[in-house]
């Protein structure tokens, strides 16, 4: 029984010793981290940003209990306008901090980063968190009021821009519809015009065809020979030209005259011919 008790005592003493040693190591690491932070602060004051950045990073790596190292490095980035890096270090400091004062400072500066990015809604939330840890800070309260005002202005502008976009979209749709109706009307007028022109062209072609047929009939009549004339149809004589009947009458008259002349000649021959006497044997 005594042996068991003694064993527990030694185990307890061993754990206590280990915890003490571990605490000593943490304290030693924090001291080293703090010294590096002081060196970084000194380099930063001498405008040696690269040296300061290196020492701050070493300090952060040495101890996660050193809130000053990430916070100060965040301030260095903020002054260099490297806001993304600054926000990361302020967030790290706020999560590492165990006291309200350190948390207040970290969240206040996170709000400042959001203000620079014009992310006013996030800035409002960051300042609210800072005030939860220190409600007495008037600077944080002022920044919160300013962030709320800028957020409202931003939302109003976005609302107006959206309304303008909707208006422009409606105007564009209206214009497109008007152009569409106009184009459809022009197409209808064009179709009607084309149809009218087509109808007029067809009518012209018909009239032209009728004229052509009329000309052909007239030409056929003009070129028709006398024997192709209908029975009983008499062709009108040309000016200064004898008709067929007149020619026939003239021929008959000439024949009659010729007959009369022949009769006269024959009569003269009979009268002038001597009659022969018959011979006596």
pLDDT in tens, the chain (281 residues): 665 556 566 555 555 565 677 788 889 999 999 999 999 999 999 999 999 999 999 999 999 999 999 999 999 999 999 999 999 999 999 999 999 999 999 999 999 999 999 999 999 999 999 999 999 999 999 999 999 999 999 999 998 888 777 777 777 777 787 777 677 666 666 666 666 666 666 655 555 655 555 555 555 555 444 444 344 444 444 545 667 777 778 778 878 877 776 777 666 554 444 433 333 33
Residue 281 confidence (pLDDT): 32
Residue 15 confidence (pLDDT): 55
Residue 207 confidence (pLDDT): 57
Q: How many angstroms separate the CA atoms of 19 and 275, rounded?
A: 205
Residue 204 confidence (pLDDT): 58
Token representation of residue 33: 């981290």
Q: How many angstroms separate the CA atoms of 133 and 126, rounded?
A: 11
Architecture of domain 7-160 in this structure: Alpha Horseshoe (1.25)
Q: How many angstroms separate the CA atoms of 105 and 111, rounded?
A: 10
Q: How many angstroms separate the CA atoms of 109 and 79, rounded?
A: 12
Phi/psi for 235 (5° steps) reads -75, 135
- Strand ranges for the chain from DSSP E: none
Phi/psi for 125 (5° steps) reads -65, -40
Residue 224 confidence (pLDDT): 47
Specify whether the CB–CB gap between 33 and 66 falls below 8 A: yes
Residue count of the chain, please give it: 281
Among 231, 175, 50, residue whose Cα is nearest residue 183: 175
pTM: 0.55
Residue 244 confidence (pLDDT): 73
Residue 263 confidence (pLDDT): 72
Other C-beta atoms lying within 10 Å of the C-beta of residue 162: 10
Residue 132 confidence (pLDDT): 97
Residue 242 confidence (pLDDT): 62
């Amino acid at each position: 029984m005594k042996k068991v008790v003694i064993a527990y005592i030694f185990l307890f003493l061993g754990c206590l010793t280990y915890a003490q040693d571990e605490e000593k190591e943490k304290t030693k690491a924090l001291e080293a981290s703090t010294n590096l932070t002081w060196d970084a602060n000194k380099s930063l004051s001498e405008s040696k940003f690269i040296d300061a950045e290196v020492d701050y990073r070493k300090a952060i790596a040495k101890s996660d209990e050193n809130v000053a190292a990430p916070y100060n490095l965040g301030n260095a980035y903020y002054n260099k306008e490297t806001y993304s890096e600054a926000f990361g270090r302020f967030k790290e400091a706020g999560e590492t901090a165990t006291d309200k004062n350190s948390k207040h400072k970290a969240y206040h500066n996170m709000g400042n980063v959001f203000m620079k990015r014009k992310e006013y809604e996030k800035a409002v939330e960051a300042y609210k968190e800072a005030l939860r840890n220190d409600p007495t800070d008037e600077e944080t309260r002022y920044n919160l009021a300013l962030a709320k005002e800028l957020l409202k202005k931003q939302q109003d502008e976005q609302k107006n821009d959206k309304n303008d976009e909707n208006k422009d979209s409606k105007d564009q749709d209206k214009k497109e519809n008007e152009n569409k109706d106009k184009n459809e009307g022009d197409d209808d007028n064009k179709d009607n015009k084309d149809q009218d022109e087509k109808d007029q062209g067809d009518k012209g072609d018909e009239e032209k065809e009728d004229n052509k047929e009329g000309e052909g009939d007239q030409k056929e009549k003009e070129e028709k020979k006398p024997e192709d004339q209908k029975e009983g149809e008499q062709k009108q004589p040309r000016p200064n030209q004898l008709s067929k009947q007149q020619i026939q009458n003239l021929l008959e008259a000439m024949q009659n005259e010729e007959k009369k002349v022949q009769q006269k000649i024959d009569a003269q021959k009979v009268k002038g011919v001597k009659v022969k006497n018959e011979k006596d044997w």
